Structure 1
């Protein structure tokens, strides 16, 4: 059995490696991107370019801090940052290679549970994290519409229609996440529906047993979520980290702009433009929002870059913000061994998850994967 699991894990790792190489090869070959990118390095200011790359690393670190904060809040024992950073990079990788970034959160959930985190805590942490992330993006979208609307409308035809569609999409995601996080009835029906669907397609073979486990974990999720909501300091820190994370990513085009020796410092305008690019990309059903991300960048950032360098700027931006997530994330995306189980040690104010009768169930935490 262990040999089969080890073989499956190796096949999974090889498949991820092959996929990563395939995506990079596509980027290099498509439209002669590699030659254009190499040509663009001539004459660039590498100080500004390194700041742009550093912004992406900063965003990863902030995301890891959010994960660490949410998981550590549930346990007496500290959850190490290196484990939180792995969760972040797993999310970055699978978000980058799947349409609508659908695999990011499920793979992060799997990673957390293999680290020994209770499934209830993992679920509540990821939902709250994603809710904060989407709420912050919606705030940026509203900022673009209210503060920078006249600036973009006078220069880009049809801006308002795209802005409204993007904002409504982000708002709808926030509403659904809010219902999931705060409405037990909605959450129960949604998860029960998922169990029924998985039973019909024969993924879940014991629906009654699975339903009971889901019910226990759901009750724990709701209670744990209530405990998290009451911690205002933690909530402020999470929003603060998320604002820094998004601002760092949105600032990358500005540093690329400066790397091309452009005068002036339209920092806020470029932050707004990048948030709008993210808005448009969010509802594109292709891995990495391929096509929509590049196209919206070329349309919006033609306001700032010269026509002879805007394609090089777009490729640099795409490589720094997207392909770097694939390259670096590939080193973290493999499945790690399950953590050894032990008796849980929760904070006094934390909610304890349900434990299986044997006392050695999968809900017991351990931060030291073997």
Structure 2
């Protein structure tokens, strides 16, 4: 455990870390700035003031409960998978790891919270191979459930999606290709050692020819050793069908908790008429598609997708709705993530 932690700290480049922090800060400022710009330059601010006078807080309270349920389910799924490898593992540890993942997914491009989750689990006492297998499996389950759920919504609400976006078929195909690629690569790395080695050697060859890596052999040995540990952890997980089905169903509930947020905001604005099911379908698709935007919190893509799919439902209240949606679905991850990691550090849980 100590050696792994020290290796992690040694590989950190202070200059690169500082650049990442600046990049994240600028992205967050731009994300908030875009919303505030449209609030002030359209009638969004006046609409927000009118809404605030008659807002129905009960619906926002339900939305907050849905967000908290999303966090709790993340922790519980991690707890189920971790306990399969370590019976002494606790829900408190899993919840902390889950919130670390939410925090760093919100602060880093491509939602890259998984490495910090693995590092946190390592500090808590789980081996690197086991923690890598748990996080990879959790991410794989989420990716599969999200893709299948989105396809189900697209199939049942295709006329709505086609009416909103003319080239929806192209967007769907592109999103599916990216998702299937991620799922396939994860499965290969988890279960096919020989093919993984070939892919790794090919990657090292490309890095060497492009001169993108100063020490390719050292990097190759480091990644290879991590993969061996990862394969050992994946082998320990085994084919626990009941565990995976239970985790998948819980993940389905978790995604649903997030997908009902726009409807709850809609009702809190005292608006009526927008179909609950259609709003769920739109939010699920927007979340899946925006996940591939290479900016912290999918900034730009998330707001743009929400505007595109929900503009007719919210009308003049669309920018206040986007602001509130981002606060609940995105910025809350930063707030609750920081609070959780701060408490965990104070209590020596990590």
TM-score tier, shorter chain, comes to 0.7 to 0.9
Give the structure 2 partner of residue 275 of structure 1.
284
Unaligned runs of 5+ in 2: 1-5
* 8 Å Cα contact 2:100/2:117 also seen in 1: yes
Aligned mates of 2:18, 2:130 — CA distance in 1: 31
Give 1:98 deviation, angstroms.
1.6
Match status 1:184 vs 2:188 = no
Who is 2:84 aligned against?
73
Structure 1 SS opposite 2:143: helix
Whether the 8 Å contact between 1:112 and 1:122 is mirrored in structure 2 is yes
1:56 alignment counterpart: 67
Aligned pair partner of 1:131 in 140, 147, 165: 140
The CA RMSD measured in Å over matched residues stands at 3.6
Q: Give the C-alpha shift of residue 24 in structure 1.
A: 6.5
Take 1:241 and 1:145, find their aligned partners in 2: how far apart are those partners? 21
Q: Does structure 2 conserve the Cα–Cα contact (< 8 Å) formed by 1:137 and 1:170?
A: no
Match of 2:110 among 73, 91, 100: 100
Task: Sort the Cα spacing of 1:149 and 1:313 in 2 relative to 1 into closer, same or farther, 3 A.
Answer: same
Shift of 1:142: 1.3
Q: Is the 8 A contact 1:17 1:330 kept in 2?
A: no
Whole-angstrom CA distance in 2 between matches of 1:262 and 1:173: 39
- The residue aligned with 2:251 is 242
Distance 1:86 1:195 in 2: 35
Match of 2:125, SS? coil
After superposition, where does 1:249-328 map in structure 2 within 5 Å? 249-264=258-273, 266-305=275-314, 307-328=315-336
Instruction: Say if 1:192 and 1:130 are closer, same or farther in 2 by CA, change over 3 A.
Output: farther
2:178 to 166, 169, 180: 169
Whether the 8 Å CA contact 2:78–2:134 is kept in 1: the answer is yes
Deviation at 1:76, TM superposition (A): 3.3
TM-score, L = length of structure 1: 0.76
Conservation of the 8 A alpha-carbon contact between 1:13 and 1:334: no
- Superimposed CA distance per residue, residues 62-110 of structure 1 (whole angstroms, 9 cap, x where no aligned partner): 1111111111111232x11121111111111111122212x31111111
Bigger share in helix: 2
Distance in 1 of aligned mates of 2:343 and 2:225 = 26
| TM-score (norm. length: structure 2) | 0.80
